[in-house]
Structure 1
Amino acid sequence: MPANEDLFTRLLTPIGKWIRRYRLQLILALRVTVAAVLAFAVAQVLHLHLPLWAVLTSLIVTQMSLGRSLKVASDYLIGTFGGVAYGGALAILIPHESEWALLAVLALAIAPLAFIASFRANFNVLPVTAIIVLLVPSMQHVSPAGSAIDRILEVTVGGAVGFIVSFLLFPSRANAITVQAAADMLDLLADGLSRFLEDHTRELDLAERRRIQDGIAGALTRLNITGVEAEHERNARLTSGPDTGPLLRTLLRLRHDVVMLGRAVGYEFPGEISARLTPPLRKIETTGRDFLRACGAALRDQKPPPPLGAVDAPFRDYIDTFGAVRRGGLTRNMKSEDAERLFALGFALEQLREHLVEVHRVVGEWARG
């Protein structure tokens, strides 16, 4: 029996890890399935002519986060109502019994709506809806007004079911996803800072620098997307919490700091300058890395950030030592290229210090929120 239990445990452990890793994706698959089945059932109960559109609308509206579902639902419904109004008006006002007349009306329906949709990608449903309202009457022998009403009912049913399922069935708040994305980005920034400063005399190869910067840029892109969705939730009073704007702007500035550091490092200071500046640089690398990781952990747990003093001290030490080096005239005999990189490194570290103070502030706001 113990051997069987041990085998059973070994089988369950990787399954449990896989479920935890893809938890959000599995929940989304469940919500989409339930929304589609319920939309079809409601459409059948209401005897809608085309339950297909109710099901498709529920699939479109059911998104990873509640904020995204709200945005997609509002855009899709507005686009549908606009397409129904325009396509229905054309179908009623312009006779199109012949094929040539139908082609002309179809072109008249598509061209202006496609032009409008080209400015706002979330209104791509406009021409699609107008086409359905125009063509369905000829295929199902219903009036244009009846086709327009059916389309509105189908989309309303699908949108309502999709949003209600997103709200009730294991809802994923964009606010919580934004916190996780921000914490992940702080970890990436900590790793990037450490890689660039652990040995400032070594210039990383282009592929390594690109890997670090692309990873941070990808995290920032995901954070911006979820941040917008979190604001939709907050504006609709579906969730509470601080404004995501300061958090996103602070992490963007930190990313710029890491980019500047990556360009400034990669050369060895002259003898006495190296002896004076290298120790505080190494301290900045360790304390900055640990501070960013601790801020990420605090953000995930919604706890207060770590003390700022420990990370601020080595920055002040470097800035004071750098000022003493300049006043002592140690930079006068440096090559112009080396001097430029030395001053660029100092500027990047000053900016980084200021933005770490901002990180401390915004993490504290989210802990209180």
Structure 2
Amino acid sequence: MLGVPWLLMQLQPRKAEVRLALRVTLAAVLALVIANLVGLPQSSWAAITAVIVTQASLGASLKAAGDRAAGTLAGAMWGAAVAALLPVHGPPPDREIAMVVALAPTAFLAAVRPSFRIAPITALIVLLPTGQVTGSPLIYALERVVEIMLGIGTGIAVALLVLPSRAHALLLASAAKVVELNAELMTALVEGLVAGEGRPGLTAIHARIRAALKQVETVADEAARERRGHFTGRADPEPLLRTLYRLRHDLVMIGRAASRPLPGEVATALTPRLTALRDASVALLQGTAEALRRADEPPGTEAFEASLKAYVAEMDALRAGGRTRDLASEDVGALYALRFSFEQLALDLRDLVARAGDHAAPALTPRERP
């Protein structure tokens, strides 16, 4: 018994994964039991479908269920039609011709609409059934549809009722990760600009941001699916996703403008302002990330606004004092591109804070936390 507390302690950081494992197991067992109770001939299809449908969030389960249902119906009906109209069990090449007729249209449909990717497999299963089949192709197809629909229904019911996890909570965690990576990128960009020591770690940071944004995009689609199904009243995830992409574009623009070290006297004047602006930006990004993760109100932008105002004032003082006249045109262009990029970043940081506020009220309920 000493091992049980230790095991529970090890699993504590993996609560979301443990809950998913329990939902998947329960859904498969329930689907199998129900299928056997109602006398379906191949109850394993119901269990397999329940496993496929039960995902990390309700939104993901709804998407998996929709794809599975669409592919099953299309493949089963077309496979049954081909089996009824063509001599599947005749001498060669009868079966091969039937396979071509069954697979070519469904494979094309799956290529055009990925949600139908199960259609060719289902068509082939109906066309070439395993075991002893005595009924008509239509009856066989209907049995497969009923089995899979039973699995879909069981999976959705378990995802909705048993330790449910909403995509909105996963969305906020994924968005917080992107915002934190943006803070890391901001630090690297300004450090390379003021220190002039190159930026060797930028490629890896950009790759992580791209991957994290893809994750947010996936979870945002799942959260939107929950909203359309009226399973949640949370804020629309699309504005937050758009803001994250705009924020990434701002940092890319800052990176391009900061690709050249600050020249001489200008560096002496601007480095303290840039350092303060970097620190304020990073603090705001990190604070917003924490607010997203906790579904709390985000921090204010006052410190960032003050540091940006001071940076712009220093830029204006340099120009008014004629200290940029002797600079190369590339350096002058980079300076003003950097200023414009920071001003654009300010707009999108304000929007990020507003979008985080949209998702903070009301706070997530315990049932909606990942």
Partner SS, residue 367 of structure 1: coil
Give me the TM-score of the superposition, normalised by structure 2: 0.90
Instruction: Please name the residue that 1:232 is paired with.
Output: 225
Instruction: Please name the residue that 1:81 is paired with.
Output: 73
Deviation string for 1:304-360 (max 9, x for gaps)?
A: 221222211111221232233234332221123323322232222111111111112
Instruction: Please name the residue that 1:214 is paired with.
Output: 207
Distance in 2 (CA, whole Å) between partners of 1:22 and 1:189 is 26
Can you give the 5+ residue segments of structure 2 that lack an aligned partner in the other structure?
A: 363-370
Give 4+ residue runs of structure 1 displaced > 6 Å after superposition. none
2:163 to 170, 193, 214: 170
Partner SS, residue 346 of structure 1: helix
1:356 lines up with 2:349 in the alignment: yes
CA drift at 1:263: 3.1
CA drift at 1:22: 2.3
CA drift at 1:205: 4.9
Instruction: Please name the residue that 1:48 is paired with.
Output: 40
Name the one with the larger helix percent.
1
Q: Please give the residue correspondences for 1:282-361 in structure 2 after superposition, counting only pairs within 5 Å.
A: 282-361=275-354
Instruction: Please name the residue that 1:28 is paired with.
Output: 20
Contact 1:58 1:158 in 2 (8 A): yes
CA spacing shift, 1:54–1:308, aligned 2, 3 Å: same
CA drift at 1:224: 0.6
Q: What fraction of aligned residue pairs are identical, expressed as a percent?
A: 36
Deviation string for 1:176-202 (max 9, x for gaps)?
A: 100111112111111221222245233
User: Which sits farther off after the overlay, 202-211 or 240-249?
Assistant: 202-211
> What amino acid is aligned across from residue 237 of structure 2 in structure 1?
T
1:195 lines up with 2:188 in the alignment: yes
Contact 1:193 1:285 in 2 (8 A): yes
Distance in 1 (CA, whole Å) between partners of 2:361 and 2:238 is 16
> What amino acid is aligned across from residue 73 of structure 2 in structure 1?
F
1:183 to 176, 191, 214: 176
Can you give the 5+ residue segments of structure 1 that lack an aligned partner in the other structure?
A: 1-7
Give me the TM-score of the superposition, normalised by structure 1: 0.91
The count of residues paired between Structure 1 and Structure 2 equals 360
> What amino acid is aligned across from residue 19 of structure 2 in structure 1?
I
Contact 1:264 1:344 in 2 (8 A): yes
CA drift at 1:142: 2.6
Distance in 1 (CA, whole Å) between partners of 2:173 and 2:99 is 47
Deviation string for 1:226-282 (max 9, x for gaps)?
A: 001000001101112111111111111111222233333354434442233222211
1:93 lines up with 2:93 in the alignment: no
Contact 2:72 2:122 in 1 (8 A): yes
1:144 lines up with 2:137 in the alignment: yes
CA drift at 1:34: 1.2
> What amino acid is aligned across from residue 36 of structure 2 in structure 1?
Q
CA drift at 1:137: 7.5
